[in-house]
């Protein structure tokens, strides 16, 4: 099979990207709980960019095949996976020997989600991470009964799903973005409260809107000083939930006095840990519910561009310049 290969990690994202090359690899024999998936589409996420730089929490022996997420059809199965033969699936793989940026990839049965026949496979390629992350995060809102929340990285797909869920639940969403163009895009899509982090009076805007709406949950995918600004703006008895670190900077300027006297906490969210805490059969129920949202057209992952394996460098260049524009799909 043809596959994209990363020869070595490089913190310089341009050098890491330019080092990617196409190679032929031999498919290995499947273990009993493994399946072989003919790739329909793989995805380039921020986590994949961090991976090729060597700064993600998963580090594979190099040379390595990148790609954590993708969709396709199961064309070969191990002894314990015969019931999955021929199924269309979405998958999230993190093993050392396989990645989704290839014509075929191997996944364990626990890594795949069987897709409905009505589920679009391009949407299925992006299904295993962002929709479930948004769902898991929004469970915190539901349990807390929050009437308002703050989120950053609001041009991203997780934030888009959270806005949808906020509308459904009756929770007001305060969105924070870095660029005026992204703010204009969100407002055109129906977002009600959008702040631009780089505005001179951003701190005052954030304080004023929070005094009015009194958010008790914040979702932080960025870190740095923005973590502190969001934490400090929250109403008493609140939770700042950290699920990403796009700035590659530590959380800064969180108020000690707010923590002590206003009962504010900081917690983390990791999708894999969240899934482990679910009751038996609960993940499958959530999956079916989310898939139906996509099939009905209520939810949709924005696709920025689709490229072939051989055009991966050009594709990533465009993606890095417009990450809020949607996902980059990679197809054989």
Mind listing the pLDDT tens digit for each residue in 159-187?
Answer: 999 999 999 999 999 999 999 999 999 99
Tens-digit pLDDT profile for residues 150-161: 999 999 999 999
Overall average pLDDT of the 267-295 stretch: 96
Establish if 281 belongs to a structural domain: no
Q: Using the predicted structure, report yes or no on whether residue 76 has a pLDDT greater than 90.
A: yes
Q: Let me know whether 195 and 263 are in one domain.
A: yes
Q: Using the predicted structure, report yes or no on whether residue 324 has a pLDDT greater than 90.
A: no
CB atoms within 10 A of CB 95: 15
Q: How many domains does the chain have?
A: 2
Q: Let me know whether 93 and 144 are in one domain.
A: no
Establish if 326 belongs to a structural domain: yes
In a 3-state reduction of DSSP, which class is residue 226?
helix
Length of the chain: 332
Q: For residue 152, which of 31, 246, 74 has the smallest C-alpha distance? A: 246
Map tokens 């969240």 to a residue: 274
Establish if 286 belongs to a structural domain: no
Establish if 34 belongs to a structural domain: yes
Q: Let me know whether 18 and 64 are in one domain.
A: yes
Tens-digit pLDDT profile for residues 85-115: 999 999 999 988 889 999 999 999 999 999 9
Residue 325 banded pLDDT, cuts 50, 70, 90? confident
Q: Using the predicted structure, report yes or no on whether residue 323 has a pLDDT greater than 90.
A: no
Establish if 246 belongs to a structural domain: yes
Show the domain range for 203: 136-272
Mean pLDDT taken over the chain: 96
In a 3-state reduction of DSSP, which class is residue 121?
helix
Q: Using the predicted structure, report yes or no on whether residue 222 has a pLDDT greater than 90.
A: yes
Establish if 36 belongs to a structural domain: yes
Q: Let me know whether 152 and 252 are in one domain.
A: yes
Q: Using the predicted structure, report yes or no on whether residue 248 has a pLDDT greater than 90.
A: no
Question: What is the domain-level CATH number for residue 237?
Answer: 3.40.50.720
Query: Which residues, other chains included, contact 305 with Cβ-Cβ below 8 Å and sequence gap of 6+?
Result: 315, 318, 319, 326, 328, 329
Calpha distance 208→255 (Å, rounded):
18
Q: Let me know whether 118 and 204 are in one domain.
A: no
Q: Let me know whether 158 and 112 are in one domain.
A: no
Question: What is the domain-level CATH number for residue 318?
Answer: 3.90.180.10
Q: Let me know whether 123 and 140 are in one domain.
A: no
Q: Let me know whether 10 and 109 are in one domain.
A: yes
């Amino acid at each position: 099979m043809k596959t994209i290969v990363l020869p070595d990690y490089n913190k310089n994202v341009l050098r890491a990207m330019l080092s990617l090359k196409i190679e032929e690899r031999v498919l290995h024999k499947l273990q009993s709980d493994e399946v072989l998936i003919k790739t329909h589409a793989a995805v380039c996420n921020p986590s994949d960019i961090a991976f090729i730089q060597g700064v993600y929490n998963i580090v594979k022996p190099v040379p390595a095949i990148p790609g954590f997420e993708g969709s396709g059809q199961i064309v070969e199965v191990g002894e314990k996976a015969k019931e999955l033969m021929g199924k269309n699936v979405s998958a999230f793989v993190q093993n050392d020997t396989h990645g989704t940026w290839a014509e075929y990839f191997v996944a364990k049965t626990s890594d795949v989600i069987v897709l409905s026949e009505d589920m679009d496979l391009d949407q299925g390629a992006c299904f295993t991470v962002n929709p479930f992350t948004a769902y898991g995060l929004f469970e915190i809102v539901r349990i807390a009964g929050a009437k308002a929340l703050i989120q950053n990285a609001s041009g991203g797909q997780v934030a888009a799903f959270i806005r949808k869920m906020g509308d459904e639940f009756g929770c007001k969403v305060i969105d924070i973005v870095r660029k005026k163009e992204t703010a204009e895009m969100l407002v055109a899509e129906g977002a009600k409260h959008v702040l631009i982090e780089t505005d001179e009076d951003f701190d005052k805007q954030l304080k004023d809107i929070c005094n009015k709406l009194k958010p008790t949950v914040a979702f932080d995918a960025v870190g740095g000083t923005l973590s502190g600004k969001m934490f400090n703006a929250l109403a008493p008895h609140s939770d700042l939930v950290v699920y990403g670190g796009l700035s590659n900077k530590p959380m800064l300027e969180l108020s000690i006095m707010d923590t002590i006297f206003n009962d504010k906490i900081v917690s983390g969210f990791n999708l894999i840990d969240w899934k482990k805490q679910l009751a038996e059969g609960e993940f499958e129920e959530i999956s079916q519910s989310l898939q139906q949202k996509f099939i009905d057209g209520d939810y949709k992952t924005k696709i920025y561009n689709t490229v072939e394996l051989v055009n991966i460098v050009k594709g990533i260049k465009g993606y890095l310049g417009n990450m809020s524009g949607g996902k980059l799909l990679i197809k054989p």
